[in-house]
Amino acid sequence: PAPPHHPAHHRTIPTQTRRRPTVHDALTTLLEQQAPVGREAWRSWWDQLGDGTLDRAQVLALLASLTSRLPDHQTLRNLLDSLAERRPAPAATTPWEHTVNVVGTGGGPRTFNISTASAFVAAAAGVKVVKTGSRAYTSSLGSVDLLERLGIRLTSSHTHTEDTLAAHGIAFAGPYVYPAQLTRLARTTAPLSMKPFGRFLNALGPFLADLPVSAQLTGVSAAAPLDTLRELASTTTTRRVWLATNDTGADELLPFAINTIHTDTGLTRTIRPGELTPADGSFGDLRPAPDPAGAAAHFLSVLAGTAGRVATRTVSLGAAALIVAAGTRRDWPSAVSLAEDAVRSGAAHDLARRLAAAPAPRTLAAARA
């Protein structure tokens, strides 16, 4: 080695200057909150996310910003439209008439899975229902978690969903209905899960699913921005979107609450306690199973009408909303009566049992062929 004072130790060694990554316009505009994020900015965001040029820090910053404060309607509409235009050509081009999608924003008091139970009851009453949902972000047991315990499979394609609807009148759509970019976001944020961003995902999730249904009923909790979601509903052109709220802050219709249905035309329908069902009851009557291991058995007891009168009235009211939204009945009293009959007759409980025993998609496809 050269001596300590040898000139070799004093040579200037060139160093590479590390360039700081450019902050994306979508993130900058979102953080400044002075103007809507345009569709072109969102297009560029998805392009860079897809080719891997967006660093993890920016993705996390964008999700954190969206979660802490949901942006204006135009920013969200541009976001949704930029994702919609990236979807592959739909396998199903014919709209599913008189078919309704039910999905909630989550949040509010803890209850059993009311909207999932209402979906079974409405389907047992003769309405075609598609339920979309997710694993738990803000609750202990999401609809997907419950379906796993019931042994009910999610559908994997439009064709699979159509087959299941034709066979059972109800289908639970799998992740295929959501933009592939959401999966890319999840992979980019790993190992951090998406749960910290559940508030944003739950609020926007009902508008992300790609299904050719004619109507959608979305329960909106107090944790979600109702005014923004109403604007999104009014600018959704592929289906009618009704939003359901109540004075307790839950994302369900409740017999003991003042409920409001916000339609896509701007009109509202208020349902007061005692108007369609008896008004007694409380959230204590709608508690979930104390142990997740018993969730399936408790859920089936709700469908069978043995979980208490308040539980039966609640799922019947939710099912009635689906019946009216789908156009099967126009008046609410007859819709509630139809739903209650589906519980009392055992039709809703039997439907859940049949769906759990349904053949796997490969067997079903072979049967069609």
Continuous H helices in 173-326: 180-189, 198-204, 226-234, 295-304, 309-326
Q: Are residues 39 and 157 in the same domain?
A: no
Rounded CA gap, 218 and 242, in Å? 6
Instruction: Indicate the pLDDT class of residue 290, thresholds 50, 70 and 90.
Output: confident
Mean pLDDT value across residues 155-182: 94
pLDDT surpassing 50 at residue 320: yes
Q: What percent of the chain has pLDDT over 70?
A: 89
Identify whether 213 is part of a domain. yes
pTM for this entry: 0.88
Identify whether 66 is part of a domain. yes
Q: Which residue has the tokens 């329908």?
A: 269
Rounded CA gap, 306 and 188, in Å? 45
Rounded CA gap, 179 and 209, in Å? 8
Rounded CA gap, 223 and 202, in Å? 10
pLDDT surpassing 90 at residue 5: no
Rounded CA gap, 295 and 36, in Å? 43
Average pLDDT value for the chain: 89
pLDDT surpassing 90 at residue 188: yes
- The pLDDT score that the predictor gives to residue 107 is 80
Identify whether 15 is part of a domain. no
- The pLDDT score that the predictor gives to residue 361 is 66
- The pLDDT score that the predictor gives to residue 202 is 86
Q: Are residues 284 and 347 in the same domain?
A: yes
Rounded CA gap, 173 and 153, in Å? 9
CA 202 to chain centre: 6
Closest CA to 60 of 24, 8, 111: 24
Identify whether 316 is part of a domain. yes
- Domain final position from 84, 109, 127: 84
Of 130-134, 223-227, 360-364, where does mean pLDDT reach its minimum?
360-364
Q: Are residues 278 and 308 in the same domain?
A: yes
**Higher-confidence position of 200 and 336:** 336
Instruction: Indicate the pLDDT class of residue 185, thresholds 50, 70 and 90.
Output: very high
Identify whether 215 is part of a domain. yes
Our count of domains for the chain comes to: 2
Identify whether 342 is part of a domain. yes
- The pLDDT score that the predictor gives to residue 36 is 95
- The pLDDT score that the predictor gives to residue 89 is 72
- The pLDDT score that the predictor gives to residue 118 is 97
CATH code for position 64: 1.20.970
Identify whether 11 is part of a domain. no
- Domain final position from 47, 63, 84: 84
Q: Which residues, 6 or more positions from 32, have their beta carbon under 8 angstroms from its beta carbon?
A: none
Q: Residue 46 sits in which domain range?
A: 25-84
DSSP bridge pairs for 244: 219, 261
Please, are residues 222 and 249 in contact by the beta-carbon 8 Å criterion? yes
Rounded CA gap, 184 and 113, in Å? 29
CATH code for position 249: 3.40.1030.10
pLDDT surpassing 70 at residue 363: no
pLDDT surpassing 70 at residue 64: yes
pLDDT surpassing 60 at residue 38: yes
Q: Are residues 260 and 335 in the same domain?
A: yes
Q: Are residues 122 and 76 in the same domain?
A: no
Please, are residues 216 and 103 in contact by the beta-carbon 8 Å criterion? yes
Rounded CA gap, 142 and 106, in Å? 9
**Higher-confidence position of 242 and 133:** 242
Q: Are residues 223 and 347 in the same domain?
A: yes
Q: Are residues 39 and 141 in the same domain?
A: no
As a whole number of Å, the end-to-end CA separation of the chain is 79
100-148 residue pLDDT tens: 999 999 888 899 999 999 999 999 999 999 999 765 544 457 788 899 9
Q: Are residues 103 and 80 in the same domain?
A: no
Please, are residues 123 and 98 in contact by the beta-carbon 8 Å criterion? no
Q: Are residues 74 and 156 in the same domain?
A: no
- The pLDDT score that the predictor gives to residue 91 is 53
Identify whether 155 is part of a domain. yes
CA atoms within 13 A on the CB side of 195: 11
Q: Are residues 105 and 49 in the same domain?
A: no
201-217 residue pLDDT tens: 888 989 999 899 999 99
**Higher-confidence position of 265 and 156:** 156
- Domain final position from 38, 60, 84: 84
Q: Is 219 exposed, middle or buried (0-12, 13-18, 19+ CB in 10 A)?
A: buried
Torsion-angle region of 128 (φ positive above 0: left; ψ -120 to 50: alpha; else: beta): beta
Q: Are residues 152 and 238 in the same domain?
A: yes
Mean pLDDT value across residues 246-256: 96
What separation in angstroms does the CA of 194 have from each of 51, 59, 305?
A: 21, 12, 36
- The pLDDT score that the predictor gives to residue 34 is 85
Rounded CA gap, 66 and 76, in Å? 10
CA atoms within 13 A on the CB side of 356: 15
Q: Are residues 79 and 121 in the same domain?
A: no
